[in-house]
Structure 1
Amino acid sequence: MQRRIYGHATDVAIRPLNEEKAVQAAADLLGELFVFSVAGAAIIFEVQRSSRSEARKEEQRKQELEAMKQKDEDVAREVELIKQKIEELEQLARGRGLADLFNSRHAHGAEGVKAKPS
């Protein structure tokens, strides 16, 4: 059939292989099948191992990203809290007046100096 496909003469007599050559050809075929099977199995194993490793790395990246997002949210909450405290202090300072605030500090500082024995 192969000879017909390639356009070779089909009336050529093909001699059968002797038993020794047939056994050798079968042994070669089985050996090559074994080698290719082992190589294919090794490739499949390596691809699966690599994909599992990548999946673990991806999961770790997701966890790290989630931790960073949580930390960012915590920092944002702290910033908002600090802004509120600053705003409260500014309102208190406006209500009392800055001069009054400084005077009370100087008065407390002067009392501390007077209380010291020489």
Structure 2
Amino acid sequence: MLPLMKLGTLAIRTISKPIAARLKTHAAVHPRFRAAIIWMAQTKYRWATQLQRRLQYGRAVNVAIRPLDEAKAIAAATDFLGELVIFSVAGLVIMYEVNRNYKSEAKKEAKRKQELEALKLKDKDLEKEVESLRLKLQEMEKQLQTRTSWLEYLKSFLFQQASQQQKSA
């Protein structure tokens, strides 16, 4: 899994480099885009510098932060946008994988539920069959008792007849 992840990261970075280069060319051509990208770079630089100073000194320090020059600002902003593209694509890939795994698990769960329902139906059918067989067994036992009592009656009757014939003979 790890080599595939590294390969995917490398592919995303390779794809994002031309995007960053194109952003640099657009920054040189379009003045509004250039202004927006420079503003973004300056804002990111100020925030990063302030955060670094807060972490270094443990409190806010009111020192003027010198702005970046235009070339550095454009380079920093395009690098930032390139990284943003990388993380956005990586995030989309992760979201896709999570969604795919969720759907796969949902299918597995639905299959398990279906199998469970089939087992429950089979269990109910078996219970009905056992009950039917139990009732048949009770009926057969009743018939057997009737026949046994009938055979005993017949034996006693025949025994009486035989004993009477012996007495008369």
The normalised TM-score by structure 1 is 0.70
Q: How many residue pairs align between the two structures?
A: 98
SS of the residue corresponding to residue 17 of structure 1 reads coil
- Alignment-mate amino acid for residue 83 of structure 1: R
Report how far residue 89 of structure 1 moved.
1.1
- Alignment-mate amino acid for residue 79 of structure 2: D
Q: Distance in 2 between matches of 1:69 and 1:50?
A: 28
Is structure 2 residue 142 aligned with structure 1 residue 91? Answer: yes
Report how far residue 99 of structure 1 moved.
8.8
- Alignment-mate amino acid for residue 22 of structure 1: A
Identical residues among aligned pairs (%): 47
Mark the runs of 5 or more structure 2 residues left unpaired by the alignment.
1-45, 152-169
Is structure 2 residue 61 aligned with structure 1 residue 8? Answer: yes
- Alignment-mate amino acid for residue 37 of structure 1: S
Comparing both chains, which one has the higher relative contact order based on Cα–Cα distances under 8 Å and sequence gaps of 6 or more?
2
Equivalent runs, 1:1-118 vs 2, <5 Å: 2=50, 6-10=59-63, 12=64, 14=66, 16-97=67-148, 100=151
Aligned-residue CA RMSD in angstroms?
2.6
Q: Distance in 2 between matches of 1:40 and 1:26?
A: 20
- Alignment-mate amino acid for residue 8 of structure 1: V
Q: Distance in 2 between matches of 1:49 and 1:66?
A: 26
Residues 9-45 of structure 1: per-residue CA shift (max 9 Å, x gap): 52x572x433332221122111111011011111111
1:13/1:58 CA distance change after superposition, 3 Å: closer
Q: Distance in 2 between matches of 1:71 and 1:13?
A: 77
Q: Distance in 2 between matches of 1:76 and 1:69?
A: 10
1:93/1:33 CA distance change after superposition, 3 Å: same
Report how far residue 71 of structure 1 moved.
0.4
Q: Distance in 1 between matches of 2:103 and 2:60?
A: 51
Q: Distance in 1 between matches of 2:70 and 2:76?
A: 10
Mark the runs of 5 or more structure 1 residues left unpaired by the alignment.
101-118
- Alignment-mate amino acid for residue 23 of structure 1: I
